[in-house]
């Protein structure tokens, strides 16, 4: 360090520390924006094969092979399902609800076999629907790009240079918070892609779980997770479209940084909101059944026990 810099640090230690912290934070901002832009461009706008961006997700040869292997395993398990259902129907012949009779099981079994062998195509249809909704959200009006996001004005090179020159540590901290939120968003999309691949592989087994009432809850959990994982992207892009359309007109400042943080907070809350909404229907069904049972008990006349007189 030159002697003048040492003298300035000794005469004004707080100012030197502020300059050092601001310089470090602005360097982090400038470096992180380039890396995050590349990751978000790769994952944010559509769901495709990460190994080859121009190829559909289910066209990945490894996924197709694993899905076919699970389909073959499900075909073998069909015999076990039929045997289990037959044994249960034999020992529960006195039950009032014939869940395991062949007349009830055969249509479900045929539908499950069709889902087992067509699961990868049905999964791609759901992904295509998500991509279509995402395309509408991105292309409506002005095309939605990373340079137009609510956080872009805070992290552009001009704003970062202004923070460094003015040594605005307060604004730099908010900009770093934006970077942390963007890292979480990028990480969530990487996890989403990996989870989608796992769900595609397990799709044949989940289809077979729809046959028996004992395993139908696992199929419902798989379906809920699939819906949330696929369509969270379309909903998040709709939120970003609304945020960019109704955003602040100010090009920079603390208010713009706070608006970007609020937008990212809403975007990151979308998967949790979709997950809660997916359970709403089942909760309403359970509550409805409880109300129905209570109403039946209230309306059903209670029989009083007949007392027999003692014989003389």
Look at residue 306 in the predicted model and tell me its pLDDT.
52
Residue in the structure block whose two tokens are 């604004």: 171
pLDDT attached to residue 98 = 55
Q: Which residues does the chain have with pLDDT short of 50? A: 1-3, 5, 7-10, 12, 96, 312
List Cα–Cα distances, 51 to 103, 134, 192, in angstroms: 46, 21, 15
Q: Return the pLDDT at 283.
A: 61
Confidence at residue 92, expressed as pLDDT on a 0 to 100 scale: 64
As a residue count, the chain comes to 312
Residue 219: per-residue pLDDT:
93
pLDDT at 106: 82
Instruction: State the Cα–Cα distance between residues 111 and 113, nearest whole angstrom.
Output: 5
Predicted TM-score (pTM) of this structure: 0.79
Token pair recorded at residue 105:
């099981």
Closest CA to 119 of 130, 131, 127: 127
246 in Cβ contact with 147 (< 8 Å): no
């Amino acid at each position: 360090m030159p002697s003048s810099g040492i003298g300035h640090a000794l005469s004004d230690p707080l100012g030197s520390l502020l300059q050092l912290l601001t310089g470090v934070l602005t360097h982090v901002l400038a470096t992180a924006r380039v890396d995050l832009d590349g990751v978000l461009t790769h994952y944010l706008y559509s769901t495709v094969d990460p190994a080859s961006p121009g190829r559909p997700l289910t066209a990945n040869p490894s996924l197709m092979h694993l899905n076919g292997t699970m389909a073959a395993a499900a075909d073998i398990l069909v015999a076990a399902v039929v045997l289990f259902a037959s044994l249960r129907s034999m020992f529960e012949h006195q039950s009032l609800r014939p869940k395991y009779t062949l007349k009830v099981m055969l249509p479900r079994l045929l539908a499950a076999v069709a889902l087992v062998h067509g699961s990868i195509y049905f999964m791609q249809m759901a992904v295509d629907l998500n991509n279509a909704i995402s395309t509408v959200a991105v292309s409506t009006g002005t095309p939605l790009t990373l340079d137009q996001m609510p956080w872009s004005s805070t992290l552009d090179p001009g704003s970062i240079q202004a923070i460094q020159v003015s040594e605005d540590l307060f604004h730099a901290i908010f900009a770093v918070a934006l970077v942390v939120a963007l890292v979480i968003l990028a990480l969530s999309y990487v996890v989403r892609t990996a989870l989608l691949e796992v769900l595609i592989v397990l799709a044949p087994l989940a289809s077979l779980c729809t046959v028996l009432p004992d395993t139908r809850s696992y199929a419902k959990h798989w379906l809920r997770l699939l819906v949330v994982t696929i369509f969270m992207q379309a909903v998040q892009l709709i939120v970003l479209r609304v945020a960019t359309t109704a955003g602040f007109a100010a090009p920079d400042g603390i208010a713009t940084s706070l608006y970007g943080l609020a937008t990212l907070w809403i975007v990151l809350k979308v998967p949790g909101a979709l997950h809660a909404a997916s359970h709403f229907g089942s909760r309403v069904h359970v509550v409805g059944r409880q109300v129905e049972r209570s109403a039946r008990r209230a309306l059903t006349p209670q029989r009083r026990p007949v007392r027999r007189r003692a014989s003389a």
